[in-house]
Structure 1
Amino acid sequence: MFRRLLYLIQDFFGISPREARGAFLLIIISFIALWTPTLFRHGVLPFLAESPQVVHPVTLDSVAATLEATSAGPDEPLEAVGPRSPATAARPVRLFVFNPNTASPEQLQELGVPAFLAKRIDNYRRKGGTFRRKQDLRRIYDFPDDLYQRLEPYIQLDAPLPTGTSETTAAIPERKAPTTLPAEIKASTRPVVVPFDINTVDTAQLIRLRGIGSTLSLRIVRFRDALGGFHSTEQYSEIFGLDSLALSELHRYARVQSGVQKLNINTATAEELNRHPYLRNRRQNEVIIRYREQHGPYQTPEDLKKIKVLDEKTINKIAPYLAF
């Protein structure tokens, strides 16, 4: 099972077996780091809350002395002093229409938002964050779903201004900047895609194709480099994650104009064979090397058919990348 997961990671990212093991370890660490806060919140904290806590008498005396020093003045007895801080007093919950982009932390607390969440929302806005939709409020970390359901009918956001306008120009309709461009201008600004060599192209050129973004373009380049180059356009369908649009764009513009980098089957080590996408089976590669050591160098791809662990389909796929 573990070895199959490593093969899937190698095929997906187009990396070597050693890099695949490192990527798998990184995925495990990321998964643990992602779920540790949730497990701690739902598993450890309730247990600690239910367990009895023993407080030392000296600690109680120091806390009482601190409260007396901060609450009562020099001539005012402690018993006559009530709660002064609004943070310690329970705030009455009152629901009213509000804008999360402009509401103050005090107003948010009046709506029933905890103080730490109100401060977190305020920090988010100070760093340039904006709530464009009501659902964006849920993006605040640890925002309760039941609280959002209670506040959702009272959230009122400002209507977004048209592109190219500001708050001062929005009040003057005759000076609004046009929100759309004429069709002829749009056509002139669209980048022109010309046919290219798939074995030398970079990600910037691939991104210009429809249906191919930064992730797919990087995956195409990595798969190409792991292969040693494409020898046929039929290999495009082997790239993981390509839909029909991206595949049609590759067949339309990507040409196979340069040769592939070949692997010498008579001198390659097991590690070098393992790095090729068509030779992921480590045990199979060890058999190839042992047969070569016992019977001498391979002369043609037909010699590989003498090895029972290799089927004809695998031999036909790997043959264009082998040197004898």
Structure 2
Amino acid sequence: MARLFSEREIRAVAVFLPLAGLLVAALVLVRPKADPEAARRAEAAMEERRDSVELHPFDPNTADFEELLGLGLSKYEAVSLLKFRAAGKVFRIPEDVALCYGIGDSLYRRLAPWIRIGRRYAIAPRTYRPGRILPEPLAPSPFRIDTVSARYLRAIGALSKRQAEAFVRWRDLSGIRDMEELRACYVVSDSVAAALEPYVIFPERQPRPIDRPVELNTADSAALRSVTGIGEKTVMRIIRYRERLGGFRSAEQLAEIPGVTESNYEKILKQISCDSCRIRKIDINFADPKTLGRHPYIAPRTLRKLLKVRQLKGGWSTAEELIEDDILTREEAARLAPYLEFGSPGGTTDE
């Protein structure tokens, strides 16, 4: 049988392997060891801020490294902002600074009053064409969203020609009556919507007659959407919150839902009613943890205490006992009591 390797090849491998082992060992020995203290000093130097900070109006699109340090940014934060710009990002509105990696919320809140976005960068830039000098965008002024032209939206630099034309088609087809519907248009980004919000005038939606209010606990999405002040997203929030609650005991609970702002809250109240007899109650002595934890008025900490005491005590007869057992505060009990029933082991319930 033929041999796979000659004696010469075997001798070469026998010499090579020890040499390779010695080389690897030498590399391991001569490699510099990590210096935790040096790394800590380098990190501290990046986080160090200047002692003298002078806040003044600045444009984050043009501020240089030294100016950023003078505004109170650390070296790390200043470098992060400059890298953000180097990647082709542009700050269109002051809120864009908060999106920059490395700029924390507290720093942004301190800088926000001093941020000034130049006309060249605000809202949306004009497309550059070689050899052509483009006019500066017009300063926006209040306009009606139901009659504004595509030409005007282009003139203030809000949208490109195609975007403005698509926006007008969308508006004429669907109608736009509030900021929620404006943001729903696919050509309007969040930053553009935020920049336009101070100038947009919406048409008044015809309110529902007072004698035919919408009943909160039985209304479907179409009925809720017909209420002036309630947008599509808010409709879904109301329905989801109603399901978690077990129904509304009073119309004022709408104020607990994101999207129902102070500006439209009073309008909504005049167009709705609430039948508290339709709320769904929870038997606190027998309901499973998942059902109890889903209710928005039962916090996780309260749920843990409630389950622990229920296991030892067996249950309660009134909401007052929950206060005495230090499970609910008096305010929490008053808010939650309409949603509770107290079943006894025999199967009867006491309201």
Query: Which category of TM-score, normalised to the shorter sequence, fits these structures?
Result: 0.3 to 0.5
Per chain length, whose mean CA-contact separation is higher, i.e. which structure has more relative contact order (CA < 8 Å, sep 6+)? Answer: 1
Q: Looking at secondary structure, tell me which structure has more helix per residue.
A: 1
TM-score by length of 2: 0.40
